[in-house]
Amino acid sequence: MSTASPPPDTPRRTRPPAGNGRVRSFLRNAARSDRARHARASAQGSLRSLGTALSTPTSPSMPLLGQASSRWQRWMPYAVAVAFVATLLPVTISVLTQDYRVNGALAGALATAQTAPLLLAVVRPLQAWWIVFAADALGAVALLGADGTAGRSWPWTPMIVVGYLALMPALGLREPRRTLVAVWLVTGATGFAFELVSQKHSDGIHVLLFVLSGVVLLIAHILRTRGDVQRKLAEQETISEAERAQRTLLEERARIARELHDVVAHHMSVITVQADSAPYRISGLPDAAQEEFATIASSARESLAEMRRLLAVLRSDGSEGERAPQPGLGRVQQLVEATVRAGVPAELSLPAELGDAPQAVDLSAYRIVQEALANVVRHAPGAPTRVSVTANDGCLTVLVVNGPAAEPVSALETTGTGHGLVGMRERVRLTGGSLDTGPLPDGGFRVAARMPLTPAAPAAPTAPVTDSGTTRKDPR
């Protein structure tokens, strides 16, 4: 018996190997398993984050408004909490016993657990929420079997809604955003879970609580964030002001050091010349004395070189050194004349013979008068001004007093570097003197500096200090 074979032109149909289908099925199942594992891992991570947020209260436990300046503001949260507890506690007991027909002892326990923790919320709002939330959930379970629940709000009673909403601002003002979101989600999830348990008793009040609690938490969190931003801005402004004052002080000290370079360099140059010329001016000097003078002259020249290097550091900002000699009291008359030309009626009281003053005192006195007159031109244009320079009891006294501005006009300059009073104070401290500045009863201003005419050790560097009672700001 022969077997018929297919015609040669008929194409054969090939079946895919059975193993390929199993491979594709295995890959699909593996992909589904990976997605499921990722979903489970993500859900577990979310639950862990939720649990961490609900179990980690903010510390330290400072009362709400505990940093307020006034005493009544610090006590206000306690007063509000006491008012809520005193109102809700008896009302809750009455409603549970009379309307919902709950046993009196159980009603009292539930009412106390649902309202009393509001007092704890002032200090520890998250712990208070745990107690209130657990009591509310137990109350919902207890009301499920009560005789008077039908036709009334469930799972939350109206008193629960009021007390819960009173607790939300304390949470929003204290806890971080992650904790607030966790509280809100747990509240909504619990309400919807009770909805699934008994749709017959539920009247939708859990949706109302879910929405209102979210709104209250959002508003409280926004207020807290706004307060934190304002506090940080105030702290930053304080830090910036302190840094600006310190920078002004350092800049003024550098400027004074540059000016005093010429004074010190002059004395060092005199020492060098005297030491070099001593062997020629004094005859019969022994060899040891000549070597000593040579050593003094060499040390003086080295000191001058070091001072030039120091001056180069102080002028590293690119500022050019002044070519003119440093001014002194001999040029105060020119300052007063320039002030008069600027429209300020000024007069000068300067003795004909002041005697010799140390160069540092001479320069400091000139700069103090210059700064004081510049402030008059800026802040009190047209005010009558009196400049007095006297020397008595071994001290040089510089007094600049101006009256109120002739008319209420704007200052000629509205900006500056803030160096005016700072510079005066530093110059006086450098010479071991004292400075007194401040407003006068008639609206004027007074600057009084007293500097010793004999060399004195300068005071130790101090932090910048503002003159108390000064009403006119020195912008330089």
The answer to whether the beta carbons of residues 304 and 272 sit under 8 Å apart is yes
User: Which residue in the block uniquely carries the two structure tokens 């509240």?
Assistant: 187
Q: How confident is the model at residue 1 (pLDDT cuts 50, 70, 90)?
A: very low
Q: How confident is the model at residue 87 (pLDDT cuts 50, 70, 90)?
A: very high
Closest by Cα among 446, 447, 467, 375 to 416: 375
Separation between Cα atoms, residue 152 and residue 196, nearest integer Å: 17
Q: What's the whole-number mean pLDDT along residues 74-79?
A: 90
Separation between Cα atoms, residue 348 and residue 169, nearest integer Å: 68
pTM for this predicted structure: 0.52
Helix intervals (H) in 380-457: 420-431
> What is the b/e burial string over 112-134, where b = at least 16 CB atoms within 10 angstroms of the residue's CB?
ebbbbbbebbbbbbbebbbbbbe
Return the minimum-mean-pLDDT range out of 186-190, 219-223, 421-425, 456-460. 456-460
Residue 404, preceding peptide bond in cis (omega within 30° of 0): no
Distance of CA 152 to the CA centre of its chain: 53
Is the pLDDT confidence value at 407 over 70?
Answer: no
Q: Is 451 helix (H, G, I), strand (E, B) or coil?
A: strand
| pLDDT number for residue 187 | 93
The answer to whether the beta carbons of residues 127 and 167 sit under 8 Å apart is no
Return the minimum-mean-pLDDT range out of 52-61, 103-112, 200-209. 52-61
Q: Which pairing describes strands 395-402 and 445-452: parallel, antiparallel, or unpaired?
A: antiparallel
User: Which residue in the block uniquely carries the two structure tokens 């300046």?
Assistant: 69
Separation between Cα atoms, residue 324 and residue 331, nearest integer Å: 13
DSSP annotation of 394 reads T
Helix intervals (H) in 351-403: 359-379
pLDDT tens by residue, 291-349:
888 888 888 888 877 777 766 666 655 555 455 567 888 888 888 888 888 888 999 99
Separation between Cα atoms, residue 189 and residue 173, nearest integer Å: 23
Closest by Cα among 93, 98, 86 to 139: 93
